[in-house]
Structure 1
Amino acid sequence: MKQKFILLVCLILVGKQLHAQIPKLSEKSQISLLTCAAGDELYYAFGHSAFRVQDSVLGIDVVYNYGTFDFNRPNFYLNFVKGRLIYSLSRRSFERFLFEYELEKRWVKEQILDLTLDEKNQLLNFFETNFLPENRDYLYDPLLNNCSSITGTILKDQFGDEIVFDGSYLDQRYTFRQLVRQNLKLNSWASFGIDVAFGSVVDRKATVEEHMFLPYYAMRQIRNTTKDGKPLLARERTILDYNEIKQTSFFPLSPLFWFIVLLLFTAVVTYLDIKHSARSRWLDLALFSITGLIGLFLFILWVATDHTSTPWNFNILWALPTNLAVVYVFVFPQQVPKWFEKYLIAALVCMGIMLLIWLIGVQIFSPVLIPLLLTLAIRYVYLLKFTKA
């Protein structure tokens, strides 16, 4: 018991000593927000934000980066699927931070904040305390709690109601889905996959502060933010000046191309089936199996994970998880069961409800889905007629 007490006292004293080692910034110090350009990979497609603290008198020039994650963390991919991905605050020299963006030729802009010396030291103390091993990890959310949105959260937490985010610079308030689409080509597998995984919850309009989950909007917001009635932005400069990286695409590799091919192929096979009074079990087996698996995955994302962006996903009205339960109809050559006709009618009704949900704006679906929906409709209608014959 005595040894434990001594150990506890030592830990407290060490903690106080470490906290006391945080330097006091000089009058020449600056704290700024760094915004980095988007890249051509999905991970870099939205850009990046980080804080920079510099003091020429003390020889300090470091970047506090809330966008750090570790692939080697236990159960990384499982936690990613579950929506329990852990990100961390890292600290590195500005020179090392900048090297990556020089290498990839991505621009970097700096916005120096107009803060008093006490406020600068307050922020530095916050960053250093947050950087302690027991504090640096946080639960990441791509829309609500990421390296960019945390910018507004920190400013609000540290300076309270003195910080006012003016949203008059926005042409309009966008939904989360619209904001994500602004950074991705609509006819890309990344955009299509995100659109399908997102539920109707992302089709609400983001608040002015919530727009800051995208680094470019965070940068624009800093230009339109006041602290105690005065502009928060002291001045802005470009550190690395490169052209914006444009996403390239090749139509034959896009989802729309392959869904059109699938639609044409299904139409031809269905025509031959009609002509020969046949039923291509292999095609129906593939369609029902794939849509069933997609639907099951979307349902799991909805009810069994912590993702805030995947609940109430009405994509399961076309990707029916129950399709997996009826694939045996296409495997065995026996007569089609009587209930299958009602199932097909229900599947068509579900697709009709989905279109209605789309029209009234409850959930916005990817237009790339249209050829796929037509493919399913063709086979559902044909199978319905075949079962009645």
Structure 2
Amino acid sequence: MKKYLLFFLLFFFVLGSPFAQQIQLSPNSEISVLTIGPGESLNDAFGHNGFRIKDSKQGIDVVYGYGAYDFDAPNFYLKFAQGKLNYLISRNDFSDFKNHYTYYNRTINEQVLNLTSAEKQKLFDFLENNYKPENRRYLYDFFYDNCATRIRDVTLKITDRKIEFNAPENFEPKTFRTLIHDHVGLNTWGSFGIDIALGSVIDKKASLWEHMFLPQYIHTLFKNAKLNGTENLIKKSTTIYQKKEADSSSNFLFSPLMIMGLIGLGILFLTYKDYRNNTRSKWLDIIIFGITGVIGILILLLWFATDHSATAQNYNLLWAFPLNLLVIGQLLKSQIKNWFKGYLKFLIIILCLMTLHWLIGVQVFAIGLIPILMALMIRYIYLVQFFNKNSNY
């Protein structure tokens, strides 16, 4: 008897849940796009977007967003690294959503969409269907299928009217890498890692459409968008919460340029010392070849062993050369092979080629690499001269 009673209680609870059945939005309901400003961490540096569904008559005020991690996915970290991780659509009460982002001092902007009742209902039904367990997951792509692009794509999907996204005044297309730098800076550890991991494919100019991988441009371009060339897509805009400015002075002493500069100076100092004593610090060369070789292998894996579209054609391989790992044995021997001298000359040539790539804009590299590249070049040149001078070494 208790089993049947529990069953009926659960049955009526599910039926009574406001999201368990088809809800008809009232004419006064509003659907808006929320744009969250950047946060402090690298993961939050690009902001966030969501749909807010507000219907006072139905007692609904919820936010749907794309891009939540599915921590229950098997082999989570491996799939994340391979670019094969499914992300989730989330649904939160607006009050919880607002409290979360105000607590972390992140700006919340709201743009109410100028939709008909039928379009609002269609968008709401789409989100509810998308939120079902069997539909929640999707394969995330940072540039082409993320929390911002989904807002744009869903908005286009639920209306038969033509939406035209118009560029604001003084709009100048930027490369994907520049757009990233706008959010994470040039001389930060976030940009340093990104510039090493992502290839030359992100150094092409992004179209107006492609700029909308960033929440900031969803907000800007929705603001200027037109429905059928006449009506504004956005009915009204408000700022729900404005970030309180704080002292955000960066610590240059611990920046990539400073740390890599000190490492580069260390390499140059030891090279000069070796030059004065006509000797060679074997341990230094083993470290250089070992680290550059390992980084090169990781870059190769990101390029060829993952589904990340942005890690292709990565010319960081011109300084982080994977074969450096295989030739470490030569550095340990009392007498090197002649081919190793040629290999060192090859390393010098590809460093020059990398500089050319940088100058003509094939790929932009991390500015923190500049002192390291200079130190590597001088070290390789010294090794060639040293081995030529000491032919019986």
- The answer, yes or no, to whether TM exceeds 0.5 is yes
**Alignment correspondent of 1:292:** 293
Secondary structure, in 3 states, of the residue corresponding to 1:142? coil
Cα distance between partner residues in 2 of 1:105 and 1:379: 47
Which amino acid in 2 is paired with 1:155?
T
SS at the partner of 2:283? helix
- 1:42-82 C-alpha deviation (Å, 9 max, x unpaired): 11111111000010111111111112113342211111110
Code of the residue aligned with 2:43 in structure 1: it is Y
Q: For 1:106 and 1:248, how far apart are their aligned partners in 2?
A: 18
Identify the residue that residue 278 of structure 1 maps to in structure 2.
279
Q: Aligned to 1:358, what secondary structure does the other structure show?
A: helix
Confirm or deny: 8 A CA contact 2:36 2:108 kept in the other structure.
Answer: yes
Superposed structure 1 runs of 4+ greater than 4 Å apart? 244-248
1:6 maps to none
- CA distance in 1: counterparts of 2:40 and 2:19, whole angstroms: 41
The 3 A distance-change label for structure 1 pair 316 and 250 is: same
Q: Secondary structure at the match of 2:155?
A: helix
Aligned residue runs from structure 1 range 151-300, under 5 A = 151-159=151-159, 162-169=162-169, 171-229=171-229, 230-243=231-244, 247-300=248-301
Residue pair 1:169, 1:224 contacting (<8 A) in 2 also: no
Choose 299-308 or 251-260, whichever is displaced more: 251-260
Q: CA deviation at 1:242?
A: 2.2
**Gap change, CA 1:141 and 1:258, over 3 Å in 2:** same
8 Å CA contact retained: 2:63, 2:94:
yes
Scaled by the length of structure 1, the TM-score of the pair is 0.92
**Matched AA of 1:312:** Q
CA drift at 1:170: 5.5
AA matched with 1:58? Q
Q: Does 1:327 align with 2:328?
A: yes
1:226 & 1:191 partners in 2: Cα distance? 35
Shift of 1:158: 2.5
Aligned-residue offset at 1:171: 2.1
Question: 1:148·1:213 contact (CA, 8 Å) conserved in 2?
Answer: yes
Q: Is the 8 A contact 1:40 1:247 kept in 2?
A: no
Partners of 2:165 and 2:226 within 8 A in 1: yes
- Identity, % of aligned positions: 43
Q: Does structure 1 retain, via aligned residues, the 8 Å contact 2:67–2:140?
A: no
Alpha-carbon contact 2:168-2:221 (below 8 Å) kept = no
Structure 2 residues not aligned, in runs of 5+: 1-13
1:244 CA drift (Å): 5.2
Q: Distance in 2 between matches of 1:159 and 1:28?
A: 19
1:7 corresponds to: none
The residue that corresponds to 2:378 in the other structure is: 378
Q: What is the distance in 1 between the residues matched to 2:360 and 2:161?
A: 38
Which residues in structure 2 correspond to 1:1-389 (within 5 Å)?
21-159=21-159, 162-169=162-169, 171-229=171-229, 230-243=231-244, 247-330=248-331, 332-389=332-389
CA distance in 2, matches of 1:297, 1:200: 16
Q: Shift in Å at residue 24 of structure 1?
A: 0.9
Closer, same or farther in 2 for the Cα pair 1:146/1:245, shift >3 Å?
A: farther
Instruction: Answer whether contact 1:152 1:209 (CA < 8 A) is retained.
Output: no
Q: Distance in 2 between matches of 1:292 and 1:357?
A: 21
Does the CA-based 8 Å contact 1:37-1:244 persist in structure 2? Answer: no
Instruction: Name the aligned partner's letter for residue 294 of structure 1.
Output: I
* 3-state DSSP of counterpart to 2:326: helix
CA distance in 2, matches of 1:334, 1:36: 61
Aligned-residue offset at 1:238 = 1.1
Does the C-alpha gap of structure 1 residues 147 and 247 become closer, same or farther in structure 2, counting only changes over 3 Å?
A: farther
Aligned pair in 2 of structure 1 residues 160, 262: CA closer, same or farther (>3 Å)? farther
Using structure 2 for the length normalisation, give the TM-score.
0.91
Instruction: State how many pairs are aligned.
Output: 373
Q: Which residue of 1 aligns with 2:6?
A: none
Residue 11 of structure 2 corresponds to none
Task: Provide the C-alpha distance between the structure 2 equivalents of 1:169 and 1:226, rounded to a whole number of angstroms.
Answer: 15
The residue type equivalent to 1:356 in the other structure is L
With 303-312 and 234-243 compared, the bigger mean Cα shift is at 234-243
1:10 counterpart residue number: none
Tell me how far 1:264 sits from its aligned partner: 1.4
Q: Is the 8 A contact 2:35 2:48 kept in 1?
A: yes
Q: Letter of the aligned partner of 1:252 in structure 2?
A: L
Q: CA deviation at 1:348?
A: 0.8
Which residue identity does 1:317 align to in structure 2?
L
Distance 1:121 1:170, change over 3 A: farther
Q: Deviations over 1:222-281 (max 9, x none)?
A: 101112221100000111122356754212211111111112111111111111111101
Would the aligned equivalents of 1:195 and 1:366 in 2 still touch at CA under 8 Å? yes
Does the aligned pair in 2 maintain the 1:35–1:48 contact within 8 Å?
A: yes
1:244–1:151 distance in 2 versus 1, CA, 3 Å = farther
In structure 2, C-alpha distance between the alignment counterparts of 1:244 and 1:157, rounded to whole Å: 37
Whole-angstrom distance in 2 between the partners of 1:82 and 1:58: 43
Letter in 2 for 1:325: L
Structure 2: distance between partners of 1:205 and 1:188: 23
Partner of 1:9: none
Work out the CA distance in 2 between the residues paired with 1:263 and 1:321. Answer: 20
Partner SS state of residue 363, structure 1: coil
- Tell which deviates more after alignment, 90-99 or 313-322: 90-99
Offset at residue 160 of structure 1 (A): 5.4
For 2:20 and 2:83, the matched residues in 1 are separated by 37
Partner of 1:11: none
Partner SS, residue 46 of structure 1: coil
